[in-house]
Structure 1
Amino acid sequence: MLRICSLFVAMLVALPLWAAQPEIAGAPRIIDGDTLEVAGQRIRLGGIDAPEMREQCQDAFGQKWPCGSWAKEAAKAMLAGHKLRCVDLGQRSYDRVVGRCYLDGRDIAVDLIEAGVARVCLRFAREQGQEQTYLNAEQRAVKARAGVFSGPLNPVAGFCAASTASAQHVAPVVPPAPDCAIKGNVSSNGRIYHLPGQRHYDQVTMRGSETRWFCTEDQAQAAGWRRALR
């Protein structure tokens, strides 16, 4: 009997998320970069955040572009006409289901992040157990300078902050731009910044109010930080 129960539990663990929860399935209607309508149900994708429809971004040359409307069209090109399988994560956002949707078994949020359509909404990605998966996708998007990652990032939505600290005091966990990869943190030795390639660079986790990204050493030093010795 114990072996049978253990086997049953193992089978449940192996099942994908959508197999264990009520399913919403169908071809999506794209509302914006992070909101869909499937089978008459409006779904806000959990753990990510796309630009608002009228939001403007800057490219690598400082030129403004309509990233909000672009995000909608990019999501439509990726998803329209395909059948999605979505699950309700048990939360609500302005009367929308907060859900996770799959295309051929793959979480579409990962694809949206990698395409630069959306960014990680750290607070909810963490609560929903997708933090590292989505951060890895975001790092790939930053490296490729995809979509919104092609230039300086707009401030992340305040509700995405992973702590009670104000969002403007919480550093993003990836650089705000590909050329702004100097890590600053506060330790017992004071305010120290680390350059890519230095010994402890990869050990500095950019979380919380005691971290800050810099684009140049001059910028870091002007803000009162000093270079790490190694």
Structure 2
Amino acid sequence: MRAFLVLSALLCALPAAAADVVVRDGRTLQIGSTSYRLAGIDTPDMDQICLNDRADPWACGVGARDALAKLIGERAVSCRDLGADPLYKARRLGACTIQGETVSLGQQMVQQGFAINLPGRDRFAGDEAKARIEHSGLWRGCFAAPQSFRRSDRDAVLLGASCRDDKRAETVELLFPARTTMPPGCSIKGKFARRARLTGNVGVYHHQGCRSYAGNTKPDRWFCSEDDAKAAGFRRAYNCRASSGN
């Protein structure tokens, strides 16, 4: 059994060709059948909106995903498996690097300003401080920490060089819109619901196989997969089929 575990760990660390790597969002890679969340960082979700240095809204979750894809380019990636993701057991935590490099993808995302150091961890705190001082990436404009966005915490501290105290009310309305725009390929609707708290969740999600998908279901969040919705604390609506695509 020990030999099997060692062999499995070695296989997980083997580099995967770029063609075998799918960038799900700014912090998540899929290599073959295994999904890895980059350890030590957090990034905007795919439906999150930020402001640039001219106070114009932009899809920073999509931007973070594109930044990670650009970092990888056509190069091979390897991930050291760090165990199950506490948020979603089917996903793994990974220390992922581009073949031939020593700085992890997570650290590079923080350095470029498209990720923040995971709250409560100090792994990339220095890189985050430098990106903030240099107004790199997200820090050039104004944004809510991803965890604040997920909780729809409109009282959260806003981050970035372009945040203005005298414009806070207007900024909050832009960063926490009442109706969010569906990102490309992310068609699952998430709706905050008090009844979901009975099952330990914050809301309910509806995919296209749900009878409740159309009509009056106006989403508070959009997700690219059911796994993403579950990781964010949403459960499937009871009138949905047992399985679906995105």
Range class of TM-score, shorter chain: 0.5 to 0.7
SS at match of 1:89: strand
* Number of residue pairs matched by the alignment: 150
Q: State the Cα deviation string for residues 75-99 of structure 1 (Å, max 9, x = none).
A: 1111132112211112323221111
Which residue pairs with 2:69 in the alignment?
76
TM norm structure 1: 0.56
Q: State the Cα deviation string for residues 35-92 of structure 1 (Å, max 9, x = none).
A: 0012331101111111111211011222111111111111111113211221111232
SS at match of 2:114: coil
- Verify the 8 A CA contact 2:144 2:156 in the aligned structure 1: no
- Verify the 8 A CA contact 2:36 2:94 in the aligned structure 1: yes
Unaligned ranges ≥5, structure 1: 1-18, 161-166, 181-213, 217-230
- Structure 1 runs (4+) deviating above 4 angstroms are 19-22, 167-171
SS at match of 2:159: coil
Which residue pairs with 1:66 in the alignment?
59
Q: 1:170 to 1:55 in 2, by over 3 A?
A: closer
Which residue pairs with 1:150 in the alignment?
140
Does residue 37 of structure 2 align to residue 44 of structure 1?
A: yes
Q: 1:98 to 1:77 in 2, by over 3 A?
A: same
Q: Distance in 2 between matches of 1:22 and 1:88?
A: 7
Alignment match of 1:177 (pick from 156, 160, 167): 160
Aligned identity (percent) is 24
Higher strand share: 1
Does residue 62 of structure 2 align to residue 91 of structure 1?
A: no
TM norm structure 2: 0.52
Does residue 110 of structure 2 align to residue 113 of structure 1?
A: yes
* Alpha-carbon RMSD: 3.2
How do 1:3-42 residues align onto structure 2 when only pairs under 5 Å count?
A: 23-26=13-16, 27=18, 28-42=21-35
- Verify the 8 A CA contact 1:85 1:102 in the aligned structure 2: yes
For the pair shown, the structure with the greater C-alpha radius of gyration is: 1
Q: Distance in 2 between matches of 1:170 and 1:69?
A: 22
Task: Letter of the 2:54 partner, please give it.
Answer: F
Unaligned ranges ≥5, structure 2: 1-8, 167-246
Q: Distance in 1 between matches of 2:66 and 2:119?
A: 24
Q: State the Cα deviation string for residues 169-223 of structure 1 (Å, max 9, x = none).
A: 997xxx922377xxxxxxxxxxxxxxxxxxxxxxxxxxxxxxxxx969xxxxxxx
